[in-house]
Amino acid sequence: MIRLYVNKLIGKTRQMIRLYVDPPAYEAGKLIRENRITISEYYRIAVVTLLLINLSTYQPILCLYAESDFLLVNTGARAAGMGGAFCALADDINAVYWNPAGLGHIRWEEFAFMHRWYRDEIYEFGAYCQPIEELDGNIGESIYYMSKSSDNYNLAAVLSWGQQIMGVESREHNIPGSESLNVGINLKFMREEIYDVRKDKYAVDIGGLYKFQEDRISFGTVLQNIGAGKEYVNTKIGAGYRILNKDSVLTIDVNFPYGRTYASAGAEYWLFDIFALRCGYTTLGDTNGLRCGLGYGRESLKINYAVIPSGESKDTHYAGISYRFGGLFKTGVVQAKIEKHFIQGKRFYRHNDLISAYREFQDVLFLNSEHEGAKEYLDKIRTVKKDIQMSRHFQAGKKYYQLGKLLKAKYEFESIIKVVPDNKETKNYLEMIEEKFEKMTEADALFRHGINSYEKGDYQKALDYWEAVAVVDKDYPEINNYIARSSDKIETMRKKKKEQERQRKEQEKNEKIKLHYEKGKDFYSQKKWDDSAKQFMAVLDIEPSHKSSKKYLEKIKYSVAEDLYDKAENLYNEKKYKESVNYFQETLKVIPDYRDSEELIRKITAEMKEYNLKKADELYERGLEAYKNGRIDKAIGLWKQAVDLNPNHLPAKKALQRIENETE
């Protein structure tokens, strides 16, 4: 029987190889019209044939070494962070570049944009895809642009189609299929312009994607740039494996460009379904080496980043954003949750954890009450005879019961009863729990209120409840320990609040100190000594040990003394001896023994005395001259000035006395 099936498959495969090598459309139609193969078989054999050709042949006509960098640039920051190993994954809109067959798995509208930074190059990518329910597939449009200068650019516009041809029946019934097969095609228009010389090309990509073991393992293959010339054609083969509850994936791609071969490998890990870590490696030419990337996003919006380090030139950076939307997106999110719970339930079931499996399948029915697969498994669980008493749920319920956590114990036991309604031991525990609830006294109720308040952080209220318990029943188990515990918490909170208040005041004090200190420095820089000193004194009023303010005040004293000293010297040079002496005396009030102030005061005093004697004689002579000329009043004034300067000037005194006698 097996030999007959193999022979039949080989015969059909040979027919499909003929269609691939010499593909007149009527041959395919002839096979289908004669009912020798079905449409589904046609697609399956076509993809299998494509895989066989890629794996078994290596001909230049099916291979590429893209001399243009444009065709070798990784598209999509997510794929770039995984080293470009994305052919067998292709589970988002970037499938339009890596493997159009991946579009068959997308169940929503999605658009994406990406930008690449590398030296002075500009590279942009934008794409959009939308499911077409009438045609049972997805259509995608994308555009690629790269420019190295104003006279050189590359442009590509691509129309994509992807369809799932195996596994559709299971999806229609909302049951994750064990395997699926997708096919896809790209129709490409490419343009290159260098110094006004334009060159247009048209090409086709054909891809296949096969997934099995509930999408954990996948294989993909793509023929790229068919029809653009053998130097542009590439054959890509890849594999992927999901691990850790599908939160992580490992991928590998092998490429057969014209005249050479290179491989890529990548890994992706999602944390909390929000953050993604990625790394990859490729052996492609001068760009070989490690890559890494990050991702962030929920179901609808995702932001991705990747970097390709370079030891000799600038690093290459990728940044991209994608957004999923539309009614089909919402349906797809719900469907994804359904599949997640369903797969988890099957895993628990295989490991004989029937309670956990039961919960997962119930979650499935909550999201979709008509889910046939979940219903079938729940029926199986109800009919399976297992030693439920030894399950981890029963043990957990017993432990919670012994610890007095009755509500949690009740939850575990009720979960068991839903699966095995006649389990006597579980029923006994549930009856004991109900009896405990019924027998709860007033003290129990108060104690529970205290527990709830304590868990909410209201320790004072908890203390009030527990002290009330002690009043109602002074022998209540462990009540004194609970009272002590809440009292300790209250004291800790009081100390914490006190410390916070101290820190607040300290912060306010520091802010005031900073304000005055900065003002003082500002006034000091403007040589406004009085204003500056007031600010630094204000600092010392708040913090007497503030060293910097003390230093500034000391500097201000010397600056003031220096200004006074300079003023005194200037007055001395102007022979204003009296004013000069006054400023030197002010200088000594600020800083005693400042420089030679005392010595200068003595010197100026002696000079001022000698000057006054000479000046008095001069004034006396001028007074005599005025007296001889009959200017008595002026003579009197000059002689009085002479006496003021030299009180012992006898001629001036006698002259004034004589005039006074004459007047009488």
How far is residue 443's CA from residue 441's CA, in Å, rounded to a whole number?
5
Report whether 292 contacts 306 (CB < 8 A).
Answer: yes
Rg (CA), the chain: 49
- What pLDDT is recorded for position 45? 46
> 219 or 353: which carries more pLDDT confidence?
219
From 18-22, 139-143, 291-295, the region with the lowest mean pLDDT: 18-22
How far is residue 362's CA from residue 372's CA, in Å, rounded to a whole number?
12
- pLDDT exceeds cutoff 50 at 102: yes
Residue 565 burial by Cβ neighbours in a 10 Å radius (0-12, 13-18, 19+): buried
Average pLDDT over residues 508-526: 93
Q: Please give the share of the chain, as a percent, with pLDDT higher than 70.
A: 83
How far is residue 61's CA from residue 231's CA, in Å, rounded to a whole number?
8
Report whether 95 contacts 103 (CB < 8 A).
Answer: yes
Q: Which residues, at least 6 apart from 104, have a Cβ–Cβ distance to it below 8 Å?
A: 137, 138, 162, 163, 164, 165, 182, 183, 184, 209
> How confident is the model over 446-457, as pLDDT tens digits?
888 899 898 888
Helix or strand (DSSP H, E) at 12 = helix 2-21
- Residue 539's nearest CA partner among 525, 521, 557 is 521
User: Which two tokens mark 186?
Assistant: 């790209």
Report whether 363 contacts 348 (CB < 8 A).
Answer: no
Beta pairing partners, 322: 112, 302
Average pLDDT over residues 3-16: 43
How far is residue 274's CA from residue 296's CA, in Å, rounded to a whole number?
6
CA distances from 452 to 73, 393, 467, 541 (A): 60, 25, 15, 50
SS3 159: strand
How far is residue 240's CA from residue 622's CA, in Å, rounded to a whole number?
122
SS3 170: helix
From 19-28, 220-229, 558-567, 646-655, the region with the lowest mean pLDDT: 19-28
Report whether 262 contacts 238 (CB < 8 A).
Answer: no
DSSP conformation class of 71: G
User: Which two tokens mark 389?
Assistant: 């008493």
CA distances from 305 to 85, 177, 249, 392 (A): 16, 33, 18, 43
Beta pairing partners, 548: none
Place of tokens 């309670």: 355
Report whether 218 contacts 88 (CB < 8 A).
Answer: yes
Instruction: Pinpoint the alpha helices (H) of 284-353.
Output: 327-350
SS3 57: coil
Helices 372-383 and 354-367: angle between axes, nearest 10 degrees: 150
DSSP conformation class of 232: B
- The string of DSSP codes covering 30-49 is HHHHTTSS-HHHHHHHHHHH
> How confident is the model over 362-417, as pLDDT tens digits?
888 888 888 888 888 888 877 765 554 446 778 888 888 888 788 788 888 887 87
**What confidence tier does 441 reach under pLDDT thresholds 50, 70, 90?**
low
- What pLDDT is recorded for position 328? 58
The overall longest dimension of the chain from CA atoms, in Å, is: 168
Report whether 296 contacts 282 (CB < 8 A).
Answer: no
Report whether 250 contacts 216 (CB < 8 A).
Answer: no
Q: Please give the share of the chain, as a percent, with pLDDT higher than 90.
A: 31
**What confidence tier does 47 reach under pLDDT thresholds 50, 70, 90?**
very low
Report whether 307 contacts 293 (CB < 8 A).
Answer: yes
Mean pLDDT of the chain: 81
Residue 576 burial by Cβ neighbours in a 10 Å radius (0-12, 13-18, 19+): middle
Beta carbons within 10 angstroms of residue 78's beta carbon: 29
- The string of DSSP codes covering 90-149 is --STTHHHH-GGGGGG--SEEEEEEEEEETTEEEEEEEEEEEEGGGTEEEEEEEEEEEEE
How far is residue 659's CA from residue 451's CA, in Å, rounded to a whole number?
114
- pLDDT exceeds cutoff 50 at 28: no
How far is residue 460's CA from residue 628's CA, in Å, rounded to a whole number?
109
User: Which two tokens mark 498?
Assistant: 């006190």
